[in-house]
Amino acid sequence: MTLLKNISLKKYNSFGIETIARDFSIFQSQDELFEIVDQYHDRILESHLILGGGSNILFTSQLLDTIVLKNELKGIQIIKEDDDHFYVEVAAGENWHQFVLHCINNGWAGVENLSLIPGTVGASPIQNIGAYGVEVKDLIDSVEAYHIADRTIQNFTNAACAFDYRDSIFKTKWKNQFVITKVLFRLSKFPIFKTGYGAIETELKNMGITDLNIRSVSDAVIKIRSSKLPDPAIIGNAGSFFKNPSISKEQFETIKQSHPDITGYPNKDGSVKIAAGWLIEKAGWKGYREGEAGCHSLQALVLINYGHASGSEIFDLSEKIISSINQVFKIPLEREVNIL
């Protein structure tokens, strides 16, 4: 395989940022991945980027002087089942939302709350994606990954992935050392509905749903997300830009005295998780625009590219928001989006 030179990544990132990759290649099979790693092994070890859907990344430089490899591995199959579960193996390049819809069409329960999340299946364990009370770590049985240095396929159990809130071992200890190739999901034959988080119950009532099923839950989540989150195909964004922070119960109660509308969700360690979008809105950033970069008018957690913003402009806006929240609430915000 040969590397393509000076390729625009604008269509490969959901922010729509114009960035040039000095060297670029797409792999659609494991053999193609093995071939290109063999051919450019030392250079890839020195510097590389594995690109999936480009939905959780912000490019801040106009030129990426590295090898960019786009993962387009495809395939979905049941490899085993027991009395309660299907074990579904999914190639890393599959579109996440299309995989969710495939599960719903086949009656495989568990991922319905994660409908309409952008990106690919391969990114889901790296980021431990989550929404509406569900995290993908609760559905993953194991992860198959290719170790670039050793050129070997390795398998990670759920425990070995060291999942945490929007985190995993692939973002910490093994960052940039593996290419996710497949994810094995443990999906239920008998759904356990989680409708108490966010506005799902309200949306289900508005939809007139009386016979609850995984499709109706998915439809409700899609309606909620579509009403609040901009479509990257229309306006550039990466969805939630910041993580929801956790604070002490004492700090939460202090904030509640002056802001009684704050909502918190208790963590197992006694801390309280609060909505970053609520903090950003209360600090006055919702709907703010600075040139071509802005904070969405319906969901303050989303930073947007109005068309011609640079990655640096969006990053600078995020810096101002972080500083503001720290000043107003004494709470440090952490970016969910990867900055390059």
Beta bridge partners of 71: 27
Q: How confident is the model at residue 199 (pLDDT cuts 50, 70, 90)?
A: confident
Both tokens of 124, joined, read: 């889901």
Same domain, 130 and 156: yes
How many C-beta neighbours within 10 Å does residue 259 have?
12
Give the type of residue at 107. Answer: G
Verify whether residue 46 is a known catalytic residue. Answer: no
Residue 218 placed within a domain: no
Q: How confident is the model at residue 229 (pLDDT cuts 50, 70, 90)?
A: confident
Phi, then psi, of 78 in degrees rounded to 5: -80, 125
Query: For the chain, what is the domain count?
Result: 3
301 in Cβ contact with 276 (< 8 Å): yes
Residue 209 placed within a domain: no
Query: The domain containing residue 256 runs over which residues?
Result: 236-339
| pLDDT above 90 (res 219) | yes
Residue 35 placed within a domain: yes
Task: Summarize pLDDT for 279-298 with one digit per residue, the tens.
Answer: 999 999 999 999 999 999 99
Residue 278 placed within a domain: yes
Spatial separation of the C-alpha atoms in residues 70 and 48, rounded to whole Å: 11
Same domain, 269 and 327: yes
Which of the following is catalytic: 25, 115, 166, 246?
Answer: 166
Among 28, 54, 71, identify where a domain stops: 71
pLDDT of residue 148: 97
Spatial separation of the C-alpha atoms in residues 68 and 286, rounded to whole Å: 34
pLDDT of residue 316: 97
Report the chain's mean pLDDT, rounded to a whole number: 95
| pLDDT above 80 (res 122) | yes
Task: Summarize pLDDT for 62-97 with one digit per residue, the tens.
Answer: 999 999 999 999 999 999 999 999 999 999 999 999
Spatial separation of the C-alpha atoms in residues 273 and 99, rounded to whole Å: 29
Which of the following is catalytic: 115, 240, 310, 318?
Answer: 240
pLDDT of residue 210: 84
Residue 124 placed within a domain: yes
Phi, then psi, of 31 in degrees rounded to 5: -60, -40
| DSSP string covering 109-136 | BS-GGGTT--SBTTHHHHHT-EETTEEG
Verify whether residue 166 is a known catalytic residue. Answer: yes
Same domain, 58 and 80: no
Residue 211 placed within a domain: no
Same domain, 87 and 64: no
Residue 283 placed within a domain: yes
Give the type of residue at 319. Answer: E
| pLDDT above 90 (res 254) | yes
pLDDT of residue 217: 96
Give the type of residue at 19. Answer: T
Percent residues over pLDDT 90 in the chain:
90
| pLDDT above 90 (res 1) | no
pLDDT of residue 197: 76
Give the type of residue at 316. Answer: D
pTM of the full predicted structure? 0.89
Same domain, 113 and 172: yes
Both tokens of 37, joined, read: 């790693």
